[in-house]
Chain A
Amino acid sequence: MLGRTASNLFWMSRYIERAENIARLTEVGYRISMTPDTGSGHREDWKSTLIAAGCLDAFMKRHHTITAEKVQHFLLFDPEHPSSVRCCLETARNNGRAVRTGLTREMWEALNSTWIEFAAIKPGTLDSGKLPDFLDWIRQRSNMFRGALLGTLLRDEGYFFAQLGAFVERADNTARILDVKYYVLLPSHEMIGGGLDVYQWETILRSVSAHTSYRHVYKDSYKPWNVAEFLILRPEMPRSLRFSYDWIERSLNGLKGINPAGEQARRQCAAVLADLQNGSMDAIFQNGLHEFLNQFMQRNNQISASVAAEYHFQ
């Protein structure tokens, strides 16, 4: 397989995953703005959304004030913002187009029809009542793409590069969401925690579609350390760091069976995974949740860079 092809598959998958995550974050922001004012005002919540999406600075460079409309437009439609859903879908499609020979027809159709339908929507016509349906649609399309990938793609190099892209992106996204609100997850917080905190915890869980599955796993009301554990260490939670790394390892090992390169990426992945398998929330809180998450995101980026170098992404 061409190095460029591998790179395109990796990034195609990353961008689809990113589009879905941005849609999810926007949905949470929207929900918050529907609920009664929480004291610090909605502006602060949209600000958190921008931080979680990793684009507060980029936003502030373009806009002076934070309003719901501006943030929504920026996150969903802005053609100048490379991580807007619009740009993610377009880049994913261009990546896919560059490697049409590496995609199945179903995958291409999912990418292509999503982009065509998205591009046909005029942002101004989407009033806030229609926003939830639209965000749902984005997630459905992402699911459709993933379904096509899982259901039709040959389990060869291309599949593993696509999976790597998706899970590296997902791990980054979950870590980022946690880091934005890490202070409400500290154990000491429960003492001071009131209704507002419960609400914040739920928001975090919603951002990764985990608010109902939490109850199935913990059979308890929201506890901050449980929320953190659920999204960091639990192997059965499909958007947790642990789950993402199980898949990153599986993908790297799958690649190894076909292509002996990637030694450094596998070593780095094994180290991260060992920390997630053997770690406890007590230890993580002890050493600092914020520090842990920051270090995790750095290591995640390093693995991404190693994969690119060792498999000749160019």
Chain B
Amino acid sequence: MVLKSTEARSPAIFDEMLTSDNGARRPYEAIAEWLATQTRGSIKKKQEEADAIFRRLGITFAVYGEGGSNERLIPFDLIPRVLSAREWRSLERGIEQRVRALNAFLYDIYHRQDIVRAGRIPAHMINQNEAFLPEMVGFDPPRNIYAHIIGTDIVRTGENEFFVLEDNLRTPSGVSYMLENREAMMHLFPELFSAHRVRPVEQYPELLRQTLESVAPANCQSDPTIAVLTPGIYNSAYFEHSFLADQMGVELVQGSDLFIQDGALYMRTTKGKERVDVLYRRVDDAYLDPLSFDPHSMLGVPGLFDLYRAGGVTIVNAPGTGIADDKAIYAYVPDIIEFYTGEKPILNNVPTYRCSLDSERAYVLDHLSELVVKEVHGSGGYGMLIGPAATKRELAEFRKRIEARPGNYIAQPTLALSTCPAATAAGFAPRHVDLRPFVLLGDKIRLTPGGLTRVALKKGSLVVNSSQGGGTKDTWVLED
């Protein structure tokens, strides 16, 4: 039996493979032909093979709230998501512009706060923001870079309509899935790669290493030593931490492996101590240093922050970057781009209503059932209301919450996210997707073509988070 799209499509939703008359869009022509030759059985078999590959590699993640060390596999969808060279070029320019502007913003708010003086952002939005770190004020990180590793979440609603949904400037994860998904696809479907010219992604770990080396502290005399700091094996992204350390050929350390002595950071090795110059930390700001932040943290290193400020080690990403991906600041990013680059934003923001403002809150409360409401400090799809899918009780509940703490919420229109075909038990069917490209910023900007495509595997669902039933796809950027 030949596989057919099994579900009717809504004309309001942009499908990345099929045009309105069910022809294939150009980047997907060969994929559509290939799909037509697949059967339910052949896809099922490949899907099982893929699951076995991922399980053996230990690509599992822990789901919070399910207790203990539950390990689950993030579902992998076999049908690749394809972007043309032209589409990617425009995304690339937009992402670069945004990332540079956000770094300039971080430098500014931890120094003169020109953007506040110019009246473009209210002072309290910065200084009273939980994500603002007063300890960073006046400090110059190497090369003045704060966010070295960024995952920019992008959604699409039409042929040329791309929106940035979120800027992740703290410790974005998912890059290991980008790399392993590609490995798995090349293993499962070599014939597809000979029929396409897909830009490679495998250079990412090398680019990451170069980026980290380029921001070594000024007093580092020899080749910088890099280490990846993980909270440990029970962290949901542990696989990624170990994977990246391994791919870069550097040590994967925990707080207990590190100590500070005579103005330097050291790790305990079988030969005694070895200096660490650049720490790629996958531990949140609050847990980095029990002396400066959360005193109960067992995950960090006492004295690390003072050492960082003294120029003895580089912490990547810098502490305090969270202020730039705060959801309350998000609404100002177009202003931020114009302020620091003098250019119009290439990539659009999703229109955002700030519940802290009376007029915007009134609109939100009147249109709750049409909007997506997000907690300003939430992440991972938790603490979120999707108006059109919500029950009356959920709507009433969120109304109360917004009225109680308006500053804690923003709202956005429900976007008609684009769909891509995904393999389902019944055949292939359109499912909503987003995209997280990974950007590296050091001595120069390094952007890996593609990124991680997340897909909401439940029919009609718009939530792509792995904690909420989302899966991933290999993402292809084609050459011209």
**What residues make up the interface of A, taking CB atoms closer than 8 Å to B?**
1-6, 94, 97-101, 105, 108-109, 112-113, 116, 157, 259, 261, 311-312, 314
Contact = CB atoms under 8 A, between A and B. Distances in A.
Given A97-B233, A108-B58, A311-B270, A2 B253 contact: yes
Given A4-B256, A99-B252, A259-B271, 10 more contacts: A2-B251, A2-B257, A2-B268, A4-B268, A6-B270, A100-B58, A100-B246, A100-B252, A112-B56, A112-B57
A259 B270 CA distance: 8
A314 B268 contact: yes
A100 B243 contact: yes
Interface in B267-318: 267-272
Contacts of A112: 55-58
Nearest to A116: B55
Interface residues of B, number: 24
18 contacts: A1-B269, A2-B257, A2-B267, A3-B257, A3-B269, A5-B251, A98-B232, A99-B252, A100-B243, A100-B252, A101-B242, A101-B246, A101-B252, A109-B57, A112-B56, A113-B56, A261-B271, A314-B268
B56 to A, nearest CB: 5
A166 to B, nearest CB: 18
Contact of B58 (A2, A4, A97): A97
A98 to B, nearest CB: 5
B373 to A, nearest CB: 38
A157 B232 CA distance: 22
A312 B58 contact: no
A139 B243 CA distance: 29
B419 interface: no
Contacts of B268: 2-4, 312, 314
A312 B272 contact: yes
| Majority secondary structure of chain B interface residues (helix, strand, loop or mixed) | mixed
Given A4-B257, A98-B233, A101-B252, A157 B270 contact: yes
Contacts of B245: 101
A129 to B, nearest CB: 29
Contacts of B475: none
A100 B243 CA distance: 8
B51 to A, nearest CB: 12
Contact of A100 (B55, B242, B269, B270): B242
Interface string B249-266: 001111011000000000
Contact of A109 (B56, B233, B242): B56
A1 to B, nearest CB: 5
Contact of B233 (A2, A94, A116, A259): A94
